[in-house]
Amino acid sequence: MATVINPAGAYTAAFRRLAARVAATQPDWVTRRRQRAIDTFERLGFPTTRDEEWRFTNVTPIAETEFVPAGDALAAGNPPAVESFRLPMATAELVFVNGRYASALSKVGSLPPGARVESLASALTSHASELEQHLAHVAEFERQAFVALNTALWTDGVFVSVPAGTVLQSPVHIMFVSTGIRQQKSDTAGGCAAITHPRVLVLAGRDSQFSIVESYLGASDGRYFTNAVTEIVLGDQALVEHYKLQAERDISYHMATIRAVAASNATFRSHSIGFGGALVRNDVVATLSGEGAECTLNGLDFADGTRLVDNHTMIDHAKPHCSSRELYKVILADRARAVFNGKIVVRPDAQKTDAKQTNKALLLSEDAQINTKPQLEIFANDVKCTHGAAVGQMDEDALFYLRARGLALRDAREFLIHAFAGEVLNKMPLEALRDRADAELLRQLTRSGAGR
């Protein structure tokens, strides 16, 4: 059972330093929201496994580590990982190294009139009123300690705003790269690591359409903690395809919340692909706040060793005639663990809701483990809600069939793992990212020997 090791002290100190530094430049409303967030965090502390939402995910390693802001502790540099993860076709590509905007590594091509893609820190001065309306208003933090921490301590991130009726033909790519702090042999448990609080705000005007890709990368063997929050606001009939590719280092921590609100007939699609991290938690929360809104939440994770990946999703059907589709899959090797909690709320007037949730786990070892829990809270009567969960091992008959035609055992296993993953990856319209995710999965399998 986790006990809270007075974390607030260090974070409060970090907050004071940050507040002193930005006091003169940031608008008052930001100061107030930060203050409210740090107060909330101090009140909440880190969650423990007594908290139902964190029952299977013990964050003690995070609570016990002393984190220093990455931007203060580490140089920016140009990690090689950046080049290999670029998306050449991107409309705009913004790169952050250790939490700092790296303008020299970034490019913003020509955008349609009125569209903006820029660093959040700079948008704070250039688009203060748009930001004031939404920033830290979409992602709740009253009971979410990590969101509160990000809201209090974020230093930069991205602001994307696409005006009404505008379509971006190619995606906006955001890369958060961490190098972390190398551990000395003499370091005792806990040790010291770097922290970043990436923050993204996306405003999709009425009838707009575009894709956003967030890539999270670890670029050296250092230790770090990424604590990210993304807020997405979709106007009527807007369509946002959101991709997240998480390829953090295996010794890193990754806590992230994606919070979306979709107005009438808007479509929000989230593709969350995760390969790295010692301790990973993703909260994807979507509110269908207008009639006819749709959302798709897809997820694929791979974990090996003693890593833990926890996906909590929540779809709030607040209005009638909305539909949601959810497919989360995880591949676990060695003694890795996964948690899936899929909550679907159907509010009293959300009649004609159509919701479908599926969760599947492929266990490559006897010692791998998943805790999966669908959570349907339905308050309307004329609705269609289904959910299903399946946990299985590699299909021995399929393996034999492939081998009986000449495929090596290793290749046969890889075929089947890819087939399992493909059900999620093939739902991603962005082919370049699909290929990248596929290649990354292969690299992971080879590295861990889990394909064998």
Contacts with another protein by CB under 8 A lie at 395-398, 400-409, 411-412, 415-416, 418-420, 422-423
φ, ψ for residue 269 (rounded to 5)? -125, 130
Q: How far apart are CA 75 and CA 102, in angstroms?
A: 11
Query: Each residue of 347-383: b (16+ CB within 10 Å) or e?
Result: beebebbebebbbbbbbbeeebbbebebeeebebeeb
3-state secondary structure 232-282: EEECCCCEEEEEEEEECCCCCEEEEEEEEEECCCCEEEEEEEECCCCEEEE
C-beta of 10 vs 416, nearer to another protein:
416
CB of 360 to another protein, least distance (A): 11
C-beta of 127 vs 403, nearer to another protein:
403
CB of 149 to another protein, least distance (A): 39
C-beta of 408 vs 439, nearer to another protein:
408
C-beta of 346 vs 412, nearer to another protein:
412
Q: How far apart are CA 183 and CA 380, in angstroms?
A: 54
- Is the CB of residue 33 less than 8 Å from the CB of residue 136? yes
For the chain, how far is it from start to end, CA to CA, in angstroms?
A: 35
Q: How far apart are CA 112 and CA 116, in angstroms?
A: 9
- Is the CB of residue 308 less than 8 Å from the CB of residue 278? yes
**How many angstroms separate the Cα of 296 from the Cα of each of 200, 326, 385, 418?**
20, 6, 14, 21
C-beta of 304 vs 414, nearer to another protein:
414
CB of 389 to another protein, least distance (A): 17
CB of 334 to another protein, least distance (A): 23
CB of 302 to another protein, least distance (A): 16
CB of 282 to another protein, least distance (A): 24
φ, ψ for residue 296 (rounded to 5)? -125, 125
CB of 395 to another protein, least distance (A): 8
| Residue 203 bridge partners (DSSP) | 161, 233
CB of 329 to another protein, least distance (A): 11
State the amino acid at position 401 in one-letter form.
Y
C-beta of 187 vs 411, nearer to another protein:
411
C-beta of 103 vs 446, nearer to another protein:
446
Residue with tokens 């939402």: 53
Q: How far apart are CA 332 and CA 365, in angstroms?
A: 7
| Residue 349 bridge partners (DSSP) | none
C-beta of 89 vs 409, nearer to another protein:
409
CB of 406 to another protein, least distance (A): 4
Tokens of residue 373, six digits: 């829990």
Question: How far out from the chain centre does Cα 390 lie?
Answer: 23
C-beta of 253 vs 420, nearer to another protein:
420
CB of 338 to another protein, least distance (A): 20
C-beta of 251 vs 421, nearer to another protein:
421
